[in-house]
Structure 1
Amino acid sequence: MISHTSLQWQSSDWQSILQTAIRDSAELLQAVGVPQSSLDTITGETAGFAVLAPRPFVARMEYGNPKDPLLLQVLALQEEIAPNAVGTTDPLEEQRFTPVPGIIHKYFGRVLLMTAGTCAVNCRYCFRRHNDYAQNILTPARLNEALTYLRSQRDITEVILSGGDPLLTSDRKLSELVAELEAIPHIQRLRIHTRLPIVIPQRITTELCQRLGQSRFQVTLVVHCNHPKELDVEVGLAMAQLKAQGITLLNQTVLLKNINNCAATLETLSVELFKIGVLPYYLHTLDPVQGAAHFAQPMGDSKQLHQTLQARLPGYLVPKLVSEIPGGASKTLIY
């Protein structure tokens, strides 16, 4: 159920909240009252992927619970660097679908524009945790090159802002980018993939909502929420502001062992998302990224779990169970 635990952050602006995010495993455990002896942790630096957890997100964790599903998504554990850990640094082979820096063009008619090189939270299962964003971040010169590419590819009808998290871009710069895209006639839709409205809902400002609402594009915002405990009053208010501007709201979830691989948890998530105007979209199987194998579960279990969801929920609340296979023409549906 939606809680009130993050109301303490109501008066803070999102940039200040980001600056005070927790960036160390020991500090994170102390903040949630979990002894370091309860979990075999490592520092983010040792893992090669720093700990980063905004305090509004941390405030939703159950104090004293070392198995809290929000905590385990962001805490660096020894399992990430186990000798028998499997996975690759580029599980989706995105490098071979990068025609120019900042663009990933895998599917017909739509492209990803890598708008930011960092996130507001470092999820330990992130499939881009090893990505060298410095090679693709949109400097002014690279943005011009990316826009030139978009103008030349007249079959592109949708641009997806991704990263990193595109909403780490300021309202002013984001507005300027949207205006550049609006000037390309064959682009009809804008999609934004972001976790910020979940982990720092204060990022959804009046200015941002109004700019997206005024766009000539059909705008879709896809949030990333994995567990019903991630939803609170502030998240609901953020979604309401976006919805008031006519923005389509969807959610994608990653299926994670010991986090949300439970039919009751996913059923509650779908119901709670719908209450705040967000439709379930995708339920992703884990991408085989190096350092995240401990989150994976057998495919057979995933199929059975999804079948249970289909039996319990109306069709519009059942996210599509998908995997992403490099070189595929789309996401691969799993039945």
Structure 2
Amino acid sequence: MTLHQLPGGQPLRSVDALIDAGLAAPEQREALQAVAARYAVSVTPAMVELIDPTDAADPIARQFVPDSAERVTLPQEIADPIGDEAHSPVEGVVHRYPDRALLKLVHACPVYCRFCFRREMVGPGGDALTGDKLNAALAYLAGHPEIWEVILTGGDPFILSARRIREVAKRLAAIPHIKVVRWHTRVPIVDPGRITGDYARALRIPGKASYVAVHANHPREFSDAARAALATLADAGHVLVSQSVLLKGVNADVETLSALMRAFVENRVKPYYLHHPDLAPGTARFRLSLEEGQALVKSLRGHLSGLCQPTYILDIPGGAGKIPVGPTFLSACEAPGAEAFAEDRHGEQHRYPPG
């Protein structure tokens, strides 16, 4: 079977399906089945079409096709690397920062990224937040007037139907102190056919500012269909911002990272966060050092439009929260009140007077 003979246009959700599609070698079957027994597998047709099966280093395949290296967990890797559980007062809610909270509506995704920081928690068969659990989560949000922003995540909330989205939107609209709603999703990129005009309208919540954080990691992910989906969301009035992860073998070079950020901006998506990879189990092959990441991000400044500059973010392990770890361009002399030195985009130092 070739890549263009996928039955029914269904996602590839098993090692056998990946092998049949030419995305994994038959001799890898046993090792990859051990990986799939622990971590969910799904590659949508939209992503399959982008993969070059003749390229062993294909950056799209690297993100979604399992690898035997995932069986190795390093001592520093932890099941809940950003500490969701420590800040979950009720099921489905993570309240880490005073003015915002996560609402995790589902635990499933259209694709499963091999570097996912919630890989121990997401997958097919995971319970959706419904009934009494959803009531309790919304009651918590309503009972905490300091919560100004709600971030809908999971899993991927865009796998829900427009009807379910409208139900949640209606209930959030009734909570007066929530002013901003942010949806986090991969769907416009990995399953763009789901983003219809009706779906985009369902995401709007009366009286609230609506943001959609779109996750993409490589410029090739911006297919014609993905670009159309992003346009549908933008035309419906949603403000689009980006989320990316800095990944070795995917985007950890100046040319690719620059093209990725430009692709976002060209599609009305403001670059927002570029995440340093989290310490999730079995993900060491994606991580680079913070120093390497800082050097890459530094290379963007002055060479790309200010619109194309993301904030390089580290999520401190254990739940202490996100901090910016971008490079600095200003260094001060040791003496108090002394002049500083400012580094320009060519690496040259310029004196800057005190005060």
Asked whether the equivalents of residues 74 and 281 of structure 2 are also in contact (C-alpha less than 8 Å), the reply is no
The match for 1:117 among 83, 93, 107 is 107
Asked whether the equivalents of residues 34 and 66 of structure 1 are also in contact (C-alpha less than 8 Å), the reply is no
Instruction: Give the Cα separation in 1 of the matches to 2:128 and 2:205.
Output: 27
Counterpart position of 1:321: 312
What secondary structure is seen at the aligned counterpart in 2 of 1:70?
Answer: helix
Return the offset for 1:115: 0.8
Q: Which TM-score applies when normalising by structure 2?
A: 0.84
Instruction: Give the Cα separation in 1 of the matches to 2:278 and 2:324.
Output: 12
Counterpart position of 2:268: 277
Return the offset for 1:213: 4.2
Asked whether the equivalents of residues 44 and 50 of structure 1 are also in contact (C-alpha less than 8 Å), the reply is no
Within-5 A mapping of 1:149-168: 149-168=140-159
Counterpart position of 2:348: none
**Distance verdict in 2 for CA 1:210–1:68, change over 3 Å:** same
Counterpart position of 1:58: 48
The match for 1:217 among 192, 208, 215 is 208
Counterpart position of 2:183: 192
Within-5 A mapping of 1:1-40: 20-32=10-22, 35-36=25-26
Matched, 1:287 2:278: yes
Structure 2 residue ranges without an equivalent (≥5): 328-355
Counterpart position of 1:72: 62
What secondary structure is seen at the aligned counterpart in 2 of 1:249?
Answer: strand
Counterpart position of 1:107: 97
Q: Which TM-score applies when normalising by structure 1?
A: 0.89
Instruction: Give the Cα separation in 2 of the matches to 1:132 and 1:200.
Output: 18
- The letter of the residue matching 1:243 is A
Return the offset for 1:274: 1.4
Instruction: Give the Cα separation in 2 of the matches to 1:258 and 1:81.
Output: 19
Counterpart position of 1:13: none
> 308-317 or 187-196, which moves further after superposition?
308-317
What secondary structure is seen at the aligned counterpart in 2 of 1:235?
Answer: helix
Aligned residue pair count: 322
Asked whether the equivalents of residues 85 and 290 of structure 1 are also in contact (C-alpha less than 8 Å), the reply is no
Return the offset for 1:53: 0.3
Counterpart position of 2:138: 147
Relative contact order (C-alpha < 8 Å, sep 6+): which is higher?
1
What is the aligned-residue identity percentage? 33
Return the offset for 1:216: 2.1
Counterpart position of 1:204: 195
Structure 1 residue ranges without an equivalent (≥5): 1-5, 10-15
Return the offset for 1:309: 1.2
Deviations 1:204-256 (A, max 9, x none): 12212123346321100001000001111001111111111111011111011
Counterpart position of 1:180: 171
Instruction: Give the Cα separation in 2 of the matches to 1:84 and 1:185.
Output: 45
Instruction: Give the Cα separation in 2 of the matches to 1:247 and 1:73.
Output: 27
Instruction: Give the Cα separation in 2 of the matches to 1:40 and 1:71.
Output: 19
